[in-house]
Structure 1
Amino acid sequence: MSEANSVNSNEGLLIVSEDACKSVIDRPSAFIAVENVFASMSRGDAYNFPVIREAIGYADALYGFKSGFDRAGKSLGLKSGGYWPGNAAKGLTNHQSTIFLFNPDNGKLRALVGGNYLTAVRTAAASAVSIAHLARKDSKVLGMVGAGHQSTFQLRAALEQRSFEKVVAWNKNKDRLKNLQAVAEELGVPFEAVEREQLCSEADVIITITSAFEPLLMKEWIKPGTHIACMGTDTVGKQEVDVNLVASATVFTDEIAQSISLGEAQHAIKSGAIKESDITTLGDVINGDHPGRSSDDEITLFDGTGVGLQDLAVASAAAKLALEKGEAQHISL
């Protein structure tokens, strides 16, 4: 019985809490789930529905829906949620979301799964998959741009992909860098807070995980052979890197439609710096349909827009494992 069917076969509505998700989903399981989704999307076995994401005109919040269907995994559903920038001051996570899983055989709601932890761990898994398939094998320095809630997840996942010997990091609010430093020190990797230009001159791999609406990294700062994972741009208008940097790189993404409409590539497409045909899905690399990195001097860029199928994959895995371990609740709807 498939993971999805094991969840779909039970009567009642399954409730999987944030604590249960943290208990049953770790980085390796998230990595596998996300990598499999990218491959499935590339084969045409899974597809995402159009994203809805809007500023609601209240609390400076962005709110929306990501959804899709994976025929192979029988995962059907959506993630509803968004970004509330004032939450941190209230002791809450800025990103708030819930994942809804439906039975594809009859349309019944099968599970409600906490989405906050899963969003962070699947986003980190996506950048980690890009590093695994696109970064130079001899990468030694990891650069982190951004130090919000998701940054520590990103750092832990990235450090598992290469034998990094140093972490350099930048954040607008330098005090937030203490969280990244603590993780690096815990894992025995030297850490240094630097300015952006120095970060780019040293780093072999750079992860951007911000909510910026203007470029933070410029083309002339990036050294040959760098792999960049842009993980913060998921809304029309957002931007983390210079358009000329995108144009100079070989661009990969989770989904081309999102990349050109609300991802990091949106600005390069709008300006005419690149064409849609210049972008390749990471799934094509995973499936062996594209070679990925072609030389040690090539700059590669992963535009991680965050697709609904990633959420459904990790949520389906969480529901299955929580059910097996007795960490989920059943209620009648």
Structure 2
Amino acid sequence: MTEAPATTTAPTITTPQAGSGGSDFAQLSRRIAAEGLLDRRPGYYAARIALVLAAFVGGWYALFALGDTWWQLGLAAAMSLVFAQVALLSHDLAHRQVFTRRLPSEIGGRIAANLLMGMSYGWWMNKHTRHHANPNHEERDPDVSPDLVVWSKRQAREAGGLARFIGRRQAYLFVPLLLLEGLNLSFNSFRALRSPTMKRPLLEGVLLVVHFVAYFGLIFAALPAGKAIAFFAVHQALLGVYLGCVFAPNHKGMLMVTPEMKLDFLRRQVLTSRNVRGGAVVDSVMGGLNYQVEHHLFPSMPTPALGRAARITREFCAEQGIPYYEVGLLRSYREIFAHLHRTGEPIRSGE
């Protein structure tokens, strides 16, 4: 396996040629469509939704069945996994992987995100759409905005305030920061209700309030105050870590796109994305997002089709001389931490 592409400089790539077959992406799309990989998979999603809902309801039942015991913290950890699976399901709904029509996708997405998880579907959808349009772009991708962490040396040189303080030792602080990511998602969800880009702020706000009233009501009804607070802390902390460990390997440590770079759609998506190997277990834990290259190229592709699409895309990229990168899960984390340490160097050296 080759080394990961450079993160701050333009890669050496072949110039895209648009011949009689159309653009490179058009040619790949035809191969993917010919295999039926964009067709809906209603049976798969019916089973997956049923399993996630069963785990969700079962978790709350177990909260009362266990009663007043510190074993509830183990349940809190398990429920963080369930909530993350709800989040991954809302992600698929948002991309219309489950339904082809917008209305059922939005209804399902708001139920999963706002009502069950406590995160604004509208706020996340807006942010995620901008990410897909410009992955790892230093100025346009909100997921690499240098609010707390710097993702390129250019950002490090321009950083100030808290980002500059954290950037010095961000490789060591990244996981501790993820402990707060669950709370951060909820905070930004409520804050976004005032945004003019929010389509249905009243509906989203009501669903969020219902979620948190029910969430805290159930916890404090089942447990004494001390254990209820501990349950909340463990649940939210591990939820943030889990989500971060699912989403970070997808792009972090890959090519950072600057305004000077000119990349066509295919290369923009492939060169900024990392696939993670690992088989059925990793596929389930990461909700199919370990096939990040294919997900970015074909966002509406159902999860079970991504593995086959990866083989086709890998072969096509080899034919076109386009670097296609995939590693194991542990290797992806090593690359992320190495990237974080490397990009913080300008702050540590005083550049």
Q: TM-score, normalised by structure 2?
A: 0.24
Higher helix share: 2
**Larger fraction in strand:** 1
**Structure with greater contact order relative to length (CA < 8 Å, sep ≥ 6):** 2
